[in-house]
A = this chain, B = another copy of it.
């Protein structure tokens, strides 16, 4: 199966390969008679010609490929959406997405080797995405090409980054709770100190302040960022005499545990207590009963932003410096479902059985 090349099209159209190249690429500043153009296009489509990207890349020194370097991300549940956003944006720019994953603990050397591989293949740009929102020291290899970061910020401030705006997302979520009437809101935080932990708490506190609700640190309890941690923390919170009427869980997995704690205490969600999570993690948030009100992380959008920004950088946009020094924050939308209701009107005595007897 001999593949058809530009030469075949030229011959069929009775023109030179130069002309074929010009008309097919619509080279600017090139005049070609309409009749020739038509002949060329007809010949090309008749022969089913499609240019060899390798040859073109060799000549133009650009591969039309962008590399996505991930750090264990393919194993996290969110990964798919980052990849999807990046891939679709890439397609729309006629770019191909190549993926390389290294394990988080593989170390800097592995990451540099991966970067090098992408460079050998003449990636036009590289996206570096980390599992958790954190600070990284970008491999020097990436200095050689346009690069952007997803979910991480470069300690040296040399490469543009997108980050989820956790604080605003959290603030909006808390505001929703406040709007429903809650004033005593528990917060079960993750005990590991990462930007997400800090950001979510900050947003929560900010919304409280804005609503004129006094900060009460006894309402903030932290634990493992898993269902088990959420269970323990929420159990503690809801067992108090003056238990909160709502609890904001650091993430959806913790919220799963919070549901169990509430059930064990005989508390009905959202009648007796409102629960909210963060991450909009599939399939938990939707599948749990009642379905969970939470905030979504903009993975798709960050993926798309990354390649959109990269294409600007590749085209030599002058935003580079500005972008590098000002991380882009992506909004995290609140997803309202069914785990929030108004607070109980009656002052509960410590146990919801009382309510049932009203």
Contacts and interface: CB of A to CB of B under 8 A. Distances in A.
A50 B80 contact: no
Interface in A287-326: 287-289
B96 A98 contact: yes
Protomer copies: 2
A34 to B, nearest CB: 27
A226 B51 contact: no
B100 A117 contact: no
A97 to B, nearest CB: 5
Nearest to A83: B74
Contact of A76 (B65, B80, B263, B289): B80
B53 A121 contact: yes
A228 to B, nearest CB: 8
B54 A121 contact: yes
A117 B98 contact: no
A202 interface: no
A101 interface: yes
Interface string A71-93: 00111110111011001100100
A52 interface: yes
A289 B231 contact: yes
Contacts of A283: 77, 227, 253, 281, 284
3 A-B pairs with least C-beta separation: A227-B287, A74-B84, A74-B80
5 contacts: A91-B100, A98-B98, A253-B283, A253-B287, A263-B263
